Amino acid sequence: MSDTLDLLIINGRVMTPGGLVEADIGIAGGKIVSIGALSGGAAAETFDAKGLHVLPGVIDSQVHFREPGLEHKEDIAHGTKAAIKGGVTSIFEMPNTSPLTLDAATLQQKLDIAAETAWSDHAFFMGGNHENADQLSVLEKLPGCAGVKIFMGSSTGTLLAKDDDVIAAVLANGNRRVSVHAEDEDRLISRQGIATDAESAEAHPDWRDVESAVRATKRIVKLARDAGRRVHVLHISSADEMDILAEHKDLITVEVTLNHLTMAAPECYERLGAFAQMNPPVRDASHREGLWAAVRNGIVDVFGSDHAPHTIEEKERPYPSSPSGMPGVQTSLPLLLDHMNAGRLSLERLVDLTSHGPQRIFNIAGKGRIAVGYDADLVLVDLAAKREITDEWIASKCGWTPFDGVKVTGWPMATILRGKIVVRDDEVLGEPSGKPVRFVDIMEPA
């Protein structure tokens, strides 16, 4: 242990890789340097965590912060502030912002913005399509790149990669795990009339039906097999897809979102209208139960928020001109803690899906665990705290959440990023200090 610690956390119940223990945590230089009985040690600052559980900071591997620099849109500053308020210490942003992330220059532009404004640590996906497929083996190794993302359905501009030959070209170039939005674009186009003839967003899961997801999922599994390439399928929304993916866990990893695990059609559309609209859609309760079964059975590897906020004015447009997407990076952990208290998963499984899982899937260096030598990224939670999620609590620029008024048991009381207390009792502290996430498979020489 260092002679003088920067921060000493005492009296907490700590979720270590070996399980839950009563221990203190010593932090110096942004890293965990000791775990044990440390209350007599010298420290510049001491945090008494009595009554709290100390968990690894959440790693949210799917967020969309939209166009940088546009006044009414989400940006990195607001999105990452929402993240740390919700106990999220690292985020991976998707490439469908403006400009599209398809080259080194755009990736660097995002990193430059984040260096000044990001409250959390961060990485950015490189979009994969016909324009850059032959360059991806180089682009995926750039510092700050989380990997490659393919949109098989309904993306922005040229980022769409709907045809098998394009997807195969992307998978043939590079080695890192490829993340995929799996909806079949041709089927969506053929069923567009269902949406244009509809009077409300209740038609959304009918237009973007289970078959459109199943077709795309079957295709990406076959293409991944043919290429021998690891693939991560995002925001799985149906029980049918989980049955398919269960047979391919040697190559395919799986994400689910809290929206699909918490809401169900038709109730969410009757209550929220287009404010519950996302791609792929929230489906009926039978699919929601199928997703929970996949969580219990180990098919699911990670939770993601798919944080994709739009303004209230945009969401109030008549369907289907209303945009798809909801904020979620700030509400995921409170909702998960409530699900845990309701008996749907254990605390150990929650931590695996929010921290250990992303670290394994994406080969993140030095994050995702409370262990000596790892970054001191922590969230301190009160498992018994009863709170209400409200629009007023939301830090995203959109200023709303589909979970406004939802009462939960379990709440993040403090967030620590690389040893620095950045949130305490819902108050954001200090200045933005986020840094790029590092990855084991693209580590630069010392």
Phi-psi domain of 320 (left: phi exceeds 0; alpha: psi -120 through 50; beta: other): alpha
**Catalytic status, residue 306:** yes
* Alpha-carbon torsion (390, 393, 395, 397), positive or negative: positive
76 by Cβ neighbours in 10 Å (0-12 / 13-18 / 19+) ranks as: buried
Q: How far apart are the first and last CA of the chain?
A: 24
Dist. CA 332–CA 281, nearest whole Å: 18
Strand ranges for 195-314 from DSSP E: 231-233, 252-257, 302-304
Residue 139's identity, in one-letter code, is L
Q: Which neighbouring-strand residues pair with 15?
A: 20
Instruction: Count CB-CB contacts under 10 A for residue 131.
Output: 15
Tokens at residue 307, please? 């944080």
Which of 299, 181, 357 has the alpha carbon at shortest distance from 291? Answer: 299
Half-sphere exposure of 99 (CA within 13 A, CB side): 10
Catalytic residue among 75, 121, 306, 375: 306
Tokens at residue 345, please? 């998963």
In the block, residue with structure tokens 């990855």: 439
Dist. CA 63–CA 6, nearest whole Å: 31
Phi, psi of 287 (to 5 degrees): -75, -40
How would you classify the pairing of strands 31-36 and 19-28?
Answer: antiparallel
How would you classify the pairing of strands 53-56 and 19-28?
Answer: unpaired
Query: CA-CA-CA-CA torsion for 212, 215, 217, 221, nearest 10 degrees?
Result: -170
250 by Cβ neighbours in 10 Å (0-12 / 13-18 / 19+) ranks as: exposed
Polymer length in residues for the chain: 446
Dist. CA 322–CA 427, nearest whole Å: 33
Dist. CA 188–CA 279, nearest whole Å: 11
Residues noted as catalytic:
306
